[in-house]
Structure 1
């Protein structure tokens, strides 16, 4: 039994002709609730597959169940480590991913969050080339759930598939590597993304990155996006002739909390470099599942047409970048009341340098 999207509801004006709203109501039946919780747990916990794998490894050892000898366990670990370093699909074509990313798992995650997704305007041409820019990153990036699913993505963007650009370190972490590849992720470096575009693939990015993640504050009435100096994704789109489709996630900042235990410490160079403090998070109860309130909402804007250039004219780069910024701000203003944001809720665009300064100041406080 898959989550079934409810009938479209009227959108707040001004809704462009062809706009579509899809609702994923929280499952109330016992089997439906079990499925949505299981999918949410999988979706939010894969960063911790490696310690679970270590516990399984120990359980199979002669110290516990004794199902495997030390020789077999260490041989498997050695082979896995070798392929972890030597086999690099994230720099190439990645792995087949449609079966997972565009399957029912993501729809159940959206049902868990009682989510609503909106596409402004008509569906993009399935023969076009697109770069999807998602905001905000959030402390976990739960907005990624709106990039897949049967009732979600296949309904809003029929005939279109897209690869995720992910940070390179993810592909060297056990468990995270496999889940990332199964979800269609490849390395977010420009050469890898350019090869994917030449193969005819579309791209999805979270341009704000870890700097934006560190600015997540569910108690603040101001949502801050690291955007003013993040133009690399726009340049890639112009060089590749890809139209840009921006989107914004409402409720992202409230999905998880960050523990304050280390915030009182003085900032160190290593923490600023690796962002240790800000990547810690807490979810519902003792799990990493997102909180149930508020429900999530996501709005995909209309595609921003791009004229291919190489080399890219700086003036045109700034012009397109401003169009993207204006589109994201416009989405926020048009839909914030629809998704329960108060009238005094604001959206600010900051630079990466400013974001780093704000994080250091927060640590000192």
Structure 2
């Protein structure tokens, strides 16, 4: 096997391990954890459960990030698979806190994860003094072991309590929220840029309540990684996706990409460059109880800044000049 092919296989395996690691924790470690309670090794899970009870509020209070986990070499292989890069347009002074809108969601948010949950793309060097967090579904942090793995990478619950804590304690904190949420995954189709943003204004209200800066970001290539099968909402599969979302908090998407061989079909993402552009921070006034009119005003300013960010960089990173952002 040539060195190039060997590297490709290593990168592919590292790409696969990221989503599979969550399935491994949930479907294998969790049942094993329960099984041990009924064996002679019962003190081990019992001690963990006791500690879990004492540690229950940690995810809502800044978490417990690990530089060691964020610097695992496996993340550099994940980065190089696409590759993933991050580009800053303005400095983020560490004397402020920031609430960052992450767009688009895509299917698995490879770009956001690689840039803000690992050091593979050099976030700490590009934005010195800034500590990044990426918010995700809160129920993940109720799952033993999984919660600790997520916190180690700088992931926090997308709950008001967790976000308020990070924006209230110290400076230099940047909290990323995938504003479109999991529903936006259904719009993750190649050659389109559909964002669920028009009615999503809670992040702007939170930014105003804390007087922090809003940071727009756009990740080019995120929606190009898979081919998704789109179902009509009224179809049987469409209704199943809706029920699945109500139960588990995310959508059951049907998609495919490439296999371990580039010309084959499989569940690996396509080798497409992912570039995250971090826009200029938008300073907001500190208003503890902002009116809806004020929220609407700064929401419109944010949408305009995001639109300009996309227009300035789209042709450079693979989008045709005619492609526009569609806000729903």
Shorter chain as denominator, the TM-score bin is 0.7 to 0.9
Q: Is 1:91 aligned to 2:60, yes or no? A: yes
What does 1:154-303 align with in structure 2 at a 5 Å threshold?
Answer: 154-173=124-143, 176-200=146-170, 201-218=173-190, 221-258=191-228, 264-265=235-236, 267=239, 270-271=243-244, 273-274=246-247, 278-279=252-253, 281-285=255-259, 289-292=268-271, 294-303=272-281
What does 1:1-365 align with in structure 2 at a 5 Å threshold?
Answer: 33=8, 36-50=11-25, 53=28, 57=32, 71-72=39-40, 87-88=55-56, 89-101=58-70, 104-121=73-90, 123-144=91-112, 145-147=114-116, 148-149=118-119, 151-173=121-143, 176-200=146-170, 201-218=173-190, 221-258=191-228, 264-265=235-236, 267=239, 270-271=243-244, 273-274=246-247, 278-279=252-253, 281-285=255-259, 289-292=268-271, 294-350=272-328
Cα gap change, 1:304/1:276 in structure 2, threshold over 3 Å: closer, same or farther?
closer
Cα RMSD of the aligned pairs, angstroms, is: 3.4
Cα gap change, 1:69/1:236 in structure 2, threshold over 3 Å: closer, same or farther?
closer
In 1, are the aligned partners of 2:104 and 2:178 still within 8 Å (CA)?
A: yes
Report how many residues are paired.
311
Give the Cα separation in 2 of the matches to 1:255 and 1:273.
26
In 2, are the aligned partners of 1:44 and 1:289 still within 8 Å (CA)?
A: no
Give the Cα separation in 2 of the matches to 1:159 and 1:34.
36
Q: Deviations over 1:106-134 (max 9, x none)?
A: 4432211123322113x221222111211
Q: Deviations over 1:215-240 (max 9, x none)?
A: 2122xx43211101111111111111
Q: 1:249 deviation in Å?
A: 0.8
Q: 1:306 deviation in Å?
A: 1.3
Give the Cα separation in 2 of the matches to 1:244 and 1:85.
35
Q: 1:341 deviation in Å?
A: 1.7
Give the Cα separation in 1 of the matches to 2:119 and 2:17.
15
SS in 2 for 1:323: helix
Q: Deviations over 1:45-88 (max 9, x none)?
A: 23312366359949xx9xxxxxx996146665666667667742
Unaligned runs of 5+ in 2: 261-265
In 2, are the aligned partners of 1:45 and 1:288 still within 8 Å (CA)?
A: no
